[in-house]
Amino acid sequence: MNRKVLYGYQIMDGKLVPQPQEAAVVSRVFGLYLEGNLQREISDTLNAEGILYSPERPVWTKFRISFILRNERYMGADDYPVLIGSETFQAVQDLLQKKWGKRDPKYRPVSALRETLRCPCGGCLKRWFSSVHRPDTLYLRCVQCGGEVIIPDADLLAEVERQAAEYTPPAESGYTPSEDTVRLTNAINRGLEKPERPEDVVALILQGISARYACFETPAASPDTQRLIREKAYAQALKYITITADNAVAVAFK
């Protein structure tokens, strides 16, 4: 196999198509990572099974695993045939960011909330960069009305955390929390009152969102958190966050 072609693909009749055995390995690599395996463990597994990366460079390394996990072509970028569904791909990116984010000084917990940000007009707020760009501040622009919002990360996080802590799920849902759920919720609320690690709070809120919408998996969640997600999903779920031009933040819960 010519490794000038991305692993998982081959050229047949001048066309780029999946290479079945390799495509299966790619799919397995994504699966193993979502199951909690380290990149090094995945490369060890493939090597132990005698699976070759290529005849010229047979050995799998964690760097090759990393390259595969981050390669958007597997979900169809650049007109590549899709090997990995976008939900699985995004789940892996989220997990990568969660695991490696703390080592990256540029990582910002607030970026995890980006998809939920809305203008009062209802349009999505997207990031843009001004000439006075500060690294700890979000510069947002509404895709619908063009309205602009500039809000420090810390202000947005503090307000989201405060409103999440105050939120009580609607009584008419007929939901009865278990003892475990009450204990876990209290623990989370304590965290929300004193967010020593904002990324943890954001992660929990996002796990609620993901459980609610099933938009991506949460493979790294501890058993406690997974139970919480199952039992308490809607209570933790953010619908969207509205930010006005003068930085009034309103968190809408689903």
Which residues of the shown chain bind Zn ion in the complex (CB under 5 A)? 119, 121, 123, 142, 144-145, 147
CA-based max dimension of the chain: 64
Return all residues near 18 (Cβ < 8 A) that are at least 6 apart: 8, 9, 10, 81, 83
Nearer to Zn ion, 144 or 178 (CB): 144
Nearer to Zn ion, 123 or 152 (CB): 123
Name the residue nearer to Zn ion (CB basis): 192 or 243.
243
Distance of closest approach, residue 107 Cβ to Zn ion, in angstroms: 28
Least distance from C-beta 123 to Zn ion, angstroms?
A: 4
CB 204 within 8 A of CB 212: no
Number of other residues whose CB lies within 10 A of the CB of residue 117: 22
Tell me how far, at minimum, the Cβ of 243 lies from Zn ion, in Å.
Answer: 10
Do the beta carbons of residue 150 and residue 127 sit within 8 Å? no
Closest separation between CB of residue 120 and Zn ion, Å?
7
Distance CA 88, CA 84 (A): 7
Q: State in angstroms the smallest separation of the CB of 145 from Zn ion.
A: 3
* CA 59 to chain CA centroid, nearest Å: 30
| Tokens linked to 23 | 């495509």
Query: CA nearest 9: which of 70, 63, 56, 71?
Result: 71
Residue among 150 and 158 whose Cβ is closer to Zn ion: 150
- φ, ψ at 196 (rounded to 5°): -70, -35
Minimum CB distance to Zn ion smaller for 140 or for 238: 140
